[in-house]
Structures are given as C-alpha cells and as structure tokens.
Structure 1
Amino acid sequence: MNDVTRQGRFDGKVAMVTGAGSGMGAAVARQLAAEGARAVVLADVNAEAVERVAAEPAAGHAVALDVSDPAAVDAAVADAVRRFGRLDILVHAAGVDDPEAKQLIADALVEGRQPEVTDRLGDAAWRRVTRINLDGTFYVLRAAVRAMRPVGAGAIVVIGSSSAFDTPAGYPHYAASKAGVHALSQAVAKEVIASGIRVNVVAPGPTETGMAARTPAVLRGGFADPRVRPYATPEEIADIVLFLASEAAANLVGAVLLANGGRFTA
C-alpha cells in the first residue's frame, strides 16, 4: 500500500477497473479496495491473471473481459450494476502496445539509422492497436455513462499515454490510438458533466508494467535520463488515478494529467 493511501476515501463506493489483471489496473483496484470501496469489479482479458489479483485480501470480484467486444463490455457493466446496485467509479486501464514495432525501432537504434515502420505496418497490426485502445475506450465510456447518467453522478478515469504528445517515431498506430483516447475522453467529459459525471485522463510516461518489461533493452535505456525521474511504479500512477476519481478532484473535468517524470511538458 502506498504511503499516501487514505483510509476510507472511497467508503461505500462501487468501482470497476479494466486491465486489472496486472500493472496500473491491478494497482488501482488494490488501492480502491484498501481505501474503503464497498465493491471493486476487476476486469481483464486474461482471466487467470485477474482472478489472482481479485483473490487477494479485499481485492474484489473478477470478470474476464475483452474491451474490444462491445456486447461483452455492456454485459459486464450491466452485471456490475445488477450485482452491486450502482457504479460510482470506472477506471479504464486496459490497452495494448505493439512488440513487433518496438523491435523494429530498437533494431534501427542499434544500427544507427532512422526507424522504418510505417511502410511495413500491416492492416492487422493497425487494427489490433486501434481496436483495443481506441474502440475499447469508446465501448467502456459508453457503458459507464449508460450506468451513471440515470443516477446523476460518477467518476471515470481513463489511462492514456504521453506517447500522444511526443509521438515516437516508428510508433504511429500507438500514438494515434492514444491521441484519439484523449480527444474522445475530453469530448465525452464536456458532454456528461451536465449529468454529474466527471471524465478525466492520466497520460503516463514510462511505467514498470508487463508492457514495459517486454520493451527491448535499448529502448528502455533511452529513458535512463539522469535529469528526470526513473520509470514510475504502477502504484505512483494509481495515486494520480485515485485522486481524479475522488471528491478532491471535483473541479477537474476533461483534464489530461501528464505523468512522465519530467521528460517533457505539454
């Protein structure tokens, strides 16, 4: 548990976290439970992983969920409302990267040349990243708004990426998907605040997750800048997420909080 954890901050709340089987999503789910949430629904495409996290003391209820399947998203949110009576908080942390593109970028760095990815990027790779990262965010936002609008309250926090700002060379599909996530979330935020629903975004930089562990060493080394903070921990990002989900952030609507340790500002 992080030192800044505040006992009881989410007393009685019902929350759902996507991507809760590992990394930032798991850290968010654990902290919500630790801070008094009455129920936390942990959703992840990896059923075994999310069940392990949910089995931890007071962690919550596990659901296998592919966020790129709109019917499955609708069903999971509706089931949470039926089971627990309401949905107060939705944190959307599910997403994917592209290991093959990362390897092409790493190879170019080792060979001292510019990456050549765009002309080699297949339709399937493009659709996989945009389907899960962008389409999935829309499906989750839509389902959450359907659950929250009737009661006139709710907090939604979406995990974006600093890649939407610095748009790494050789990573066009990932950067585009996350930039779309930011714009989508802000547009929805401006609409649904009239219904008492707050939507905000956290845009992490390099963070120690399973995704980061799969990053080639030469790319990870590129982030070893002594002038800035090292890779964030999932718990550090979770602290920002929980702030946005809490009443302390009542005046934040449509914000995109850049959490990249000082690598750049936007």
Structure 2
Amino acid sequence: EDGRVDVVVHAAGIDDPVAKGHIYEAAEKGEPVDVLSRLEDPTWRRIHAVNLDGTFHILREAVRTMRPIGGGAIVTIGSSAAFDTLVGYPHYASSKAAVHALSQSVAKEVIHFGIRVNTVAPGPVDTAMAARTPESVRKRMNDGSAFGYATAEQLSESICYLASDQASNVVGAVLLSNGGRFTV
C-alpha cells in the first residue's frame, strides 16, 4: 500500500524426481547409486536455473527495490544438502551450495545500504516436493534426526526470525534448520 518492500523471502526451488527414482531403484536392488552418469544436461541446467538463477533474479530485484528506501531484509532458502548431501544429488546440492555463496556475497555488498541478506538451510521439509520422494529414500533422508521431516510452519519460524528486527545484527548467516541431522 505504501510502495515499500521491507521483507523478501525467496522460497522457490525444485529437486529432481528422476534422480530420486534412480536412488530408490539402487536401494531396492542393493546396488550403488548411479545418478551422475545418467544425469542429462537439460536436467542439470533446469535445477540450477530455478534454484540458483531464480535466487539471483529475486536478490537483484529486491535490492533494486529496497536500496532507495534505505533497507530491508531478504531471506533465501538454501539446503542442508549443500553441506551433507544425499548420495545421487550432485545437481541439487551444488545449486543450493551456490545459493548459500551467492546470498553471502550479496549480504556483504548490500549491508552498506541497510539491507540484510540471510539464508535458511533446511533439512527435509514435508512439502509437495517431499511427497514425491519414495518411502525408502525418505527413510534414508530421515536417518540421524530425532524429529523427522520438518513442517513448513517450523521452517517459517526460522525465516520470520531472520526477517525480523530481532536479527538486526545477523548478516550473511546460513541458519541450519535440519532437526539435528548434523552440525557445522
């Protein structure tokens, strides 16, 4: 209403259901996972185009909008897979690791304009994307966590914190929200 954009949350992203199928197939046969040799260039580019390029475009537009008003908060969504990837997910893991690096680089650049950029790196979250994951793969993704898949509401609490004034001194952070699967 007042022409201001104070907070931007970029939560769009995709994974690869074909790769999940290959992971499932290998688990069912008791064989090693072989996704990389079957990964097609268009799939590699699509994952990176949505996850990384999409983040770049949102960051750029958010900064262009926030800079004239003197500040704001931007929260991007990365992934714990950037640190502790599931075997067979090189394209997803690399796209999300790049989201972390991009967000941190932009954070250092734009803090001088009063704009804070931070990232939430969730583990598995119970979303429509996760619902396409075969049960045996879901089980492997759940290993190491007492909490299982996070809810969207749990993830939103981390996002809201980073967007809030309570995080006014938090810049360029990657906040793990992974139910204790691992720590960094």
TM-score under structure 2 length normalisation: 0.97
What aligned pairs does 1:189-228 form with structure 2 within 5 A after superposition?
189-225=107-143, 228=146
How many Å apart are 1:219 and its aligned residue?
0.6
- For 1:227 and 1:151, locate their aligned partners in 2 and report how far apart those are by CA, in whole Å: 42
Q: How does 1:119-198 map to 2 (within 5 A)?
A: 119-198=37-116
- Name stretches of at least 5 consecutive residues in structure 1 with no aligned partner: 1-82
Structure 1 residue 119 displacement after superposition? 1.1
Stretches of structure 2 that go unaligned for 5 or more consecutive residues are: none
The letter of the residue matching 1:175 is A
Q: CA-to-partner distance for each residue in 1:181-238, whole Å, 9 max, x for gaps?
A: 0000000000000000000000000111001101011111123447521111000000
CA contact 2:144–2:180 (8 Å) conserved in 1? no
- 1:227 and 1:168, CA in 2 relative to 1: closer, same or farther beyond 3 A? closer
More helix by share: 2
Where relative contact order (Cα < 8 A, 6+ residues apart) is larger, the structure is 2
Percentage of identical aligned residues: 60
8 A contact 2:145–2:179 mirrored in 1: no
CA distance in 2, matches of 1:225, 1:158: 26
Q: CA separation of 1:233/1:227 partners in 2, compared to 1, >3 Å: closer, same or farther? A: closer
Tell me which amino acid in the other structure corresponds to 2:158: I
Change (3 A) 1:225 1:163: closer
After TM superposition, which residue ranges in structure 1, 4 or more long, deviate above 4 angstroms? none
Q: CA RMSD in A?
A: 1.2
> Which residue does the alignment assign to 2:171?
253
Give the AA of the match of 1:244.
L
